[in-house]
Amino acid sequence: MKRWLLSVVVGIALLATPAWAEQKIKVGIAAGDGDIVWANVREIAAKDGLDLTVVVFNDYLLPNAALDAGDLDANAFQHRPFLENQIKTRGYKITPVGETIVAPIGLYSRKVKALGEIRDGASIGIPNDPSNGGRALLLLQAEKLIKLKDGVGISPTVLDVTDNPRKLQLREIDAAQLPRSLDDLDAAVINTNYAVPAGLLPGKDSIAAESAVNNPYNNFIAVRERDKDAPWVSKLVRAYQNDTIRQLIKDTLPGQIPAF
């Protein structure tokens, strides 16, 4: 009788265990996007029944390809203009589900200390992907180094440059390679997650930077469209969007600002 009762109790306990109790979720991030932050997200998520594995990528194109292929369950590395371009060119069915950070892009140089010192004909590196390349061009326009065609929106290309009074040589280079290419350039527009690991601190080493106010380049957690309403998604977002992670971003990620 006791053995039967024990079996019933165990059976009830198993039935009461939620299906997501130890759900394994794999999240892709870009190098420099806060390993410490995501280690803490992992701990918070574990309390809600999610077992997170964080995969670091050194190429902006790979996390969405991996998510689309099912090798990841989510990623957190991109802003909307980048995802919109990826959807347009590659047909991904990926959608944002929760804001993370905004990291104003900056212009860096090891040859000059101020914008006014940039010489005529200087070589300026910009990211070669459409969204971040456009972002770089908008920064150069904001600093009056170039002028872009009216109405180009937030994704201009070098073909949209209508005025280049200093005859700057705009060199499109893979975003991850820009810090290594800086010695061969007069200046380069570099994403914060690549600048910081290279020892370039936004505000301290940048000679120009985007404004963080009304910045359209907030990063976010993204998942496949078919998963957006899955219970684990809201738990993952909640594990990131909280006061603990907000403070950790401020303390450990130079140049990055919580976007939630």
Digit-coded pLDDT (tens) for 120-142: 999 999 999 988 999 999 999 99
Average pLDDT over residues 17-39: 79
Of the pLDDT bands very low, low, confident and very high (cuts 50, 70, 90), residue 32 is confident
Q: How much of the chain exceeds pLDDT 70, in percent? A: 92
Give kind and range of the element (H or E) at residue 12. helix 2-16
69-82 per-position pLDDT tens digit: 999 999 999 999 99
Please tell me the predicted confidence (pLDDT) of residue 155.
86
Inter-CA distances, 46 with 21, 23, 24, Å: 9, 9, 10
Q: Which amino acid is located at 57 in the chain?
A: F
Q: What is the mean pLDDT of the chain?
A: 91
Average pLDDT over residues 49-75: 97
Q: Which amino acid is located at 70 in the chain?
A: G
Q: Phi first, then psi: what are they for 167, rounded to 5°?
A: 50, 45
Looking at per-residue confidence, does 227 or 4 come out higher?
Answer: 227
Inter-CA distances, 130 with 23, 61, 148, 180, 241, Å: 36, 12, 15, 20, 29
Q: What is the pTM of this model?
A: 0.80
Given a contact cutoff of 8 angstroms between Cβ atoms, the answer to whether 217 and 135 are in contact is yes
Pairing of strands 23-30, 50-57: parallel
Question: CA-CA distance, 260 to 245, in Å (whole number)?
Answer: 10
Which one, of 59, 217, 253, 84, lies nearest residue 138 by Cα?
217
CB-based contacts of 199, cutoff 8 Å, min separation 6 = none
Please tell me the predicted confidence (pLDDT) of residue 31.
84
Of the pLDDT bands very low, low, confident and very high (cuts 50, 70, 90), residue 56 is very high
pLDDT of 6 higher than 60: no
Given a contact cutoff of 8 angstroms between Cβ atoms, the answer to whether 78 and 191 are in contact is no
